[in-house]
Amino acid sequence: MCILNVKHMGTNKKVLITGASGFIGHALVKELINQGYDTWAGVRSTSKVDDLEKMGAKIIVLSCDKESCLADEIGKFHEANGKWDYIVHAAGVTKCVNPSDFTKVNYDNTRRLIEAILAADMKPEKFIYLSSLSIFGAIHEDNDKNISVDDVPQPSTEYGRSKLKAEQYIQGLEAFPYVILRPTGVYGPREKDYFMMAKSIKQHIDFAVGFTPQYLTFIYVQDVVQAVRLSIEKEIVCREYFISDGNVYSSRTFSDLIQTELGVKSVLHVKCPLFILKSVSLCAEFLSTLTGRASTLNGDKYKIMKQRNWRCDISPIENELGYSPEYDLKKGVKLTIDWYKTHKWL
């Protein structure tokens, strides 16, 4: 069944944000509304939209997994409102019950969305795709070199492969005005995976993986928002950029900062050997297939957690779009933990 849920446009530039009810999408909706954009929140029929509507977003249900429904939804919008000036595609999955679902959601749904937009003669001024640093895998695992845009992607996970496939599809479109952003580990208010670390540390336990030094990079969600906003505002298209806060951290830095912000005096730091983590991850993945519920820990996540080098070069986006990270890990973690406390997550 097709669900058509659209409202009439305002007078400003129109922007569509897919995945608007998710962690990053929610932050994007809030910022772009504040910036005066006529902001449309693209959601699934089962998504909770109360917060989005309270912020002033206009809701459109997009059935990206159902080609005929999606065509009807896009066509209905076009008839009533014209086209979106900008599209930010933030919808996607980071964990699945079945590994093949990464491709179905991150690639197939992206392709169907773009095909429906082009078929309706609604090519936007710019299409911004949120990809991931994971498309490069462990290409510089044995040295301290930054991953750069000149490196050839070598994804080692189904998630990374699905994101790369979507990138390659977008890059192969003729005269299609895209910008691809590849964030490293994104954290901030409403994020749930790093939240699990905070819960563990509150219980005085911190789990780390492997004994070889790990070089990590992070980006606070508001810096992702800044990168998207600049991608909209600047006249550069057909470019790919890494985004992080510009720093490199040791594996303990994040947990130590969380411990400080929580005021936890003592924490037992447990280092899990990689072979044990792999066994636990595969067991969790097997249980996930039995229960039908995606697990945070799985074979894909194991490959990401075991990777030792997550350095990346953000100078291109700094030089070309004027991106300047505003939140280092210390500042971002403080804001994140404060939000968790205020909203009774912790």
Helix, strand or coil for residue 137?
A: coil
Q: Which amino acid is at 12?
A: N
Average pLDDT over residues 10-21: 87
Residue pLDDT, tens place only, 195-233: 999 999 999 999 877 767 788 999 999 999 999 999 999
Q: What mean pLDDT, rounded, does the chain reach?
A: 90
pLDDT band at 2 (very low <50, low <70, confident <90, very high): very low
More confident residue, 274 or 174: 174
Residue pLDDT, tens place only, 82-102: 999 999 999 999 888 788 899
pLDDT band at 56 (very low <50, low <70, confident <90, very high): very high
How are the residues of the chain apportioned to helix, strand and coil, as percentages rounded to the nearest 5?
A: 45, 15, 40
Residue pLDDT, tens place only, 225-266: 999 999 999 999 999 999 999 999 988 999 999 999 999 999
Average pLDDT over residues 106-117: 97
Task: Count the neighbouring beta carbons within 10 Å of the beta carbon of residue 213.
Answer: 10
Element housing 88 (H / E) = strand 86-89
Residue 255 has what pLDDT? 94
The answer to whether residue 9 scores a pLDDT higher than 60 is no
Residue 270 has what pLDDT? 85
Residue pLDDT, tens place only, 277-336: 777 777 877 777 777 777 777 777 767 666 767 889 999 999 999 999 999 999 999 999
Ordered by start, the domain boundaries in the chain are: 14-187+218-246+311-325
* Cα 7–chain centre separation: 27
Residue 5 has what pLDDT? 43
Whose CA is closest to 6, among 49, 35, 37? 49
Residue 211 has what pLDDT? 66
Average pLDDT over residues 119-131: 97
Is the alpha carbon torsion for 241, 325, 322, 12 positive or negative? positive
> What DSSP letter does each residue of 8-68 carry, written as one string?
---SS-EEEEETTTSHHHHHHHHHHHHTT-EEEEEE-TT---HHHHHHTPEEEE--TT-HH
Element housing 115 (H / E) = helix 109-119
* Cα 8–chain centre separation: 29
Residue 177 has what pLDDT? 97
* CATH fold of the domain at 14-187+218-246+311-325: Rossmann fold (3.40.50)
The answer to whether residue 110 scores a pLDDT higher than 80 is yes
In sequence order, the 6+-apart residues with CB closer than 8 A to the CB of 232 are: 15, 86, 88, 126, 128
Alpha-carbon distance of 223 to 212, in angstroms, equals 29
Alpha-carbon distance of 81 to 15, in angstroms, equals 12
Average pLDDT over residues 69-76: 95
Task: Count the neighbouring beta carbons within 10 Å of the beta carbon of residue 177.
Answer: 16
Average pLDDT over residues 180-203: 95
Report residue 43 as tokens.
């959601």
Alpha-carbon distance of 180 to 11, in angstroms, equals 27
Alpha-carbon distance of 181 to 118, in angstroms, equals 22
> At what angle are helices 23-34 and 221-233 packed, to 10 degrees?
50
